[in-house]
Structure 1
Amino acid sequence: MHFFARTLLAALPFAATPVFAATTYPPSAYRDGAVKCQQLRQLDCAEKNWVQYIKMNPTDVHAIASLAVIYSWDEKHALAIVQAEKAIEMGQGTYDLFAAYARSLEKVGRIDESIDWNYKTLAIMPKLVNVRGDLARQLVAKKREYEALALLASFDATLEEKGHGHYFDGQRIAIETTIERQGQALAGAQKSLRLSKTGDHFYAPVRIGDARPTAFVVDTGAAKTMLSEDMLAGSRASYKVLQPKVVIGLADGRRSTARLVVLDALNIGPFELRKVTAIVCSTCVPLLGQASLSQFNMASAKKQGVEFMTLEPRAVR
């Protein structure tokens, strides 16, 4: 017996009439069969169950969204888009629906829309590394390498804050290699840098000296840019000490001893800043303060649940 039929029959006290007869089984049998098939990734079975169930319950938005996901998994992307848009118009807003919709949009060539919906997916469920990785790949394809780098580096920064290792090192290295190969041609083409919010912060990809780009918190409340002594030493950056000992207040209320230095250069995405004043201490977390941010026109906006910040240099030095 076909798995679809077995799934339905297992849920019912009788088993003799045709599987697809609309009057044979109650709607709940088709719904339960669809769920079981979906859990087992039996896509054809799940599709047929959901289609029959929706015929009997055309306003069940969860079922419509589930069918959209099944169609996307089964590479039936035109059908997936129709069902996803219907579910969204009815008010459904789950991360799996958004992710499936974004995937199908990309498959039919609607890349810009797919990027938007992948960002919306991450706004709901930021831990979806597959969606984040796919979105970064899409951004690179659209020549938005630094935005992609910020997207991945910010996630790795949140992992590091919790004592975990990085997840996206490999993909970041690939993007960094692309940036290095394209050099000034890529940097010169960038007019602004868009950053998406990760957790409670915006993060910008910052490169100092020979170090790899690191995610720095964009902190408009801090006066100076900050970094750790280990980061400065590892970067082999050229700098000058202005004050060998200053006392600073940390975010947790403690006070610490630090150095005030001037970095010869610091890159925020594609934009190079010269003679940047920074505070360096053993426990300092990397952040961009007003001394660096004041060289940019900054704009933040929240659109359809996704928060972005745009940095546009007032003057690239």
Structure 2
Amino acid sequence: MLTQLKTLFAASLFLCLPALAETYPPSAYKEGAIKCMRARSYDCAEKNWNQYIKMRPTDAQAVASLAIVYHWADKPEASIIQAEKAISMGEGTYDLFAAYSESLAKTGRVDEAIDWGYKTLAVVPTLVNVRGDVAKYLVLRKREFEALALLASFDASLEAQGHGHYFEGQRIAIESSLERQGQAVASTQKSIRLPRTKEHFYAPVKLGDSRIVAFMVDTGATKTSLSEDMLTSSKTTYKVVKPNINLQLADGRNVSGRMVTLDTMKVGPFELHKVTAFVCKTCVSLLGQASLSQFNMVSSKIQGVEFLTLELR
């Protein structure tokens, strides 16, 4: 507590500097602004950054810092102005993008907030607060399955590392909303857009009674694959085509399993029928050509962010 008070006191000393601009060099205002930011003294930081920028107008990092301060102070309109100025000057840090995205959302510019949220995640994919916010913005735009793909893919990567799911509650909320809407969602959606997570695209897939999970899109795999545990827990209806089969996976492993035909499988809002799948004890969840052939697939890269759009044929 004492340390925090000392920091606040040190920061407050810079509040009077703007009145004596000719006395102090630009570095004094910059130092004061940084101290104020560390102390979360927004008014102090705002005054010092503004004075510094008057003296050093080409310092894009300072302009970005002022945008972040305005964001912290819940001044979204002012934050947007400074963020756009900083970006136009070539500044491109994750915290600037995140502040810009959230400020855009606060002013009702939700579609732009989604775009800049994705850009933030392209820089730092592990920002869970930004990922969760983008999912909320997508839900506002009735793009629930894209939101689920964004969240479930991150949880899948955690699960692969032996960790629990981070977005369990948010996913349950979105899935519950989808259940209430019923077939209305499927009838209105013609395609689903999947954001790239690390090196792969993931689609939200539902089998029988199971929760929606992330299946990695694998255009190099012939069949869709899933684990025995997933097949059993889903209680979905299927027919065994080949009870014993050996396959070599993409990573070179030889595994034993069985080939089945799933009566139905939902990929986002779309219901597929008679899907051939390879099931084994250690199989990971993959969407292979057996399922992907039912879609038109279009990949795109928008200002550094990659997407895969699936449209049912």
Indicate the TM-score class for this superposition, using the shorter chain for normalisation: over 0.9
C-alpha RMSD of matched pairs (Å): 1.8
Residue 307 of structure 1 is matched in structure 2 by 306
Indicate whether 1:171 and 2:175 are aligned.
Answer: no
User: 1:214-233, aligned counterparts within 5 Å?
Assistant: 214-233=213-232
TM-score, reference length from structure 1: 0.94
Give me the whole-angstrom Cα distance separating, in 2, the residues matched to 1:37 and 1:51. 13
| Offset of residue 27 of structure 1 | 1.1
Q: How far, CA to CA, are the matches of 2:144 and 2:262 in structure 1?
A: 25
- For the residues of structure 2 that align with 1:278 and 1:7, how far apart are their CA atoms? 63
2:102 is the counterpart of 1:103: yes
Number of aligned positions between the proteins: 308
CA shift, 1:4, in A, is 7.6
Contact 2:8/2:39, CA 8 A, preserved across alignment: no
Give the Cα separation in 1 of the matches to 2:29 and 2:16: 13
Deviation at 1:3, TM superposition (A): 7.7
String of CA shifts for 1:132-178, please: whole Å, max 9, x gaps. Answer: 11111111111111111111001101111111110000000000000
Instruction: Give the structure 2 partner of residue 7 of structure 1.
Output: 11
Any gaps of 5 or more consecutive residues in structure 1?
A: 11-16
- 8 Å contact kept, 1:220–1:293: yes
Structure 1 counterpart of 2:250: 251
Q: Is the alpha carbon distance of 1:261 and 1:285 closer, same or farther for their aligned partners in structure 2, counting shifts above 3 Å? A: same
Q: For 1:62-77, list aligned pairs within 5 A.
A: 62-77=61-76
The answer to whether the 8 A contact 1:277-1:291 is kept is yes
* CA deviation after TM superposition for structure 1 residue 108, in Å: 1.1
TM-superposed deviation, 1:48: 1.1
The residue type equivalent to 1:127 in the other structure is: T
Residues 8 and 30 in structure 1, CA contact (< 8 A), matched pair in contact too: no
Partner of 1:264: 263
Give the secondary-structure state (helix, strand or coil) at the position aligned to 1:19: helix
Deviations 1:195-246 (A, max 9, x none): 0000100000000010001100000000000000011011011101000111
Residue of structure 2 in register with 1:19 after alignment: 17
2:201 alignment counterpart: 202
Higher deviation after alignment, 300-309 or 27-36: 27-36
> Which position in structure 1 is the counterpart of 2:3?
none
Residue 31 of structure 1: aligned partner? 30
Distance in 1 between residues matched to 2:43 and 2:7, nearest whole Å: 10
Change in 2 beyond 3 A, CA 1:282/1:81: same
Q: Which moved more, 1:289-298 or 1:102-111?
A: 102-111
Deviation at 1:19?
2.0
Distance 1:49 1:5 in 2: 15
Answer yes or no: is the 8 Å Cα contact 2:11–2:39 preserved in 1.
Answer: no
Kindly state the Cα deviation for residue 131 of structure 1 after the two structures are TM-superposed. 0.8
Q: Any idea what SS the aligned residue of 1:309 has?
A: strand
Q: Aligned-pair distance for 1:285?
A: 0.2
Residues 3 and 225 (structure 1 numbering): CA distance in 2 closer, same or farther, change over 3 Å? closer
The 8 Å contact of residues 18 and 24 in structure 1, kept in 2 or not, is answered as no
Structure 2 counterpart of 1:128: 127
Matching residue of 1:14? none
Paired amino acid for 1:198: T
Cα distance in structure 2, aligned partners of 1:180 and 1:9: 57
Residue 242 of structure 2 aligns to a residue whose secondary structure is strand
Counterpart residue type for residue 92 of structure 1: E
